[in-house]
Amino acid sequence: MPDELHQRGMKVRRKVLGDAHVDRAEQNKTAVDDGFQRYITEAAWGSVWTGGAVDLRTRSLITVALLAGLGHHEELAMHIRATKNTGATLAEIREALMHVAVYAGVPAANAAFAVLKKIATEEGL
């Protein structure tokens, strides 16, 4: 089962984040983080991201909102960039961040909007 989860996870991880990102992550892993990389590939990508009740676009927006609310800006930036692969639009991301403002706080949303603005400018979202 773990090998199946890992294969399924790598497939969706590549679809969402892109081959270049995943290849970099795989090349940079060491004995220190190998187990952790396998865990996130299996648990997050192979299990949660492959659940059948929600499509990738919606899952992507949920992830953006959670990362913004928790203040995980580096991961947030990665997932905002990944919306090019999931189909989430700039308008939908903005709406998700408005929810962050109400439910997680204006400072969290303000910081997330700054991340979004930077990426939207750099990458033409």
pLDDT of residue 125: 77
Tell me the CA distances in angstroms from 90 to 25, 54, 74, 75, 119, one per residue in order: 26, 19, 18, 17, 11
Q: What is the pLDDT of residues 75-124, one digit of tens each?
A: 999 999 999 999 999 999 999 999 999 999 999 999 999 999 999 999 88
Does domain 54-125 correspond to CATH entry 1.20.1290.10? yes
SS3 of residue 1 by DSSP: coil
Farthest-apart Cα atoms in the chain, separation? 42
- 12-35 burial code (b ≥16 CB/10 A, e <16): bbbbbbeeebbeeeeeeeeeeeee
Q: Which tokens belong to 116?
A: 């979004």
pLDDT of residue 65: 98
List the chain domain ranges: 1-51, 54-125
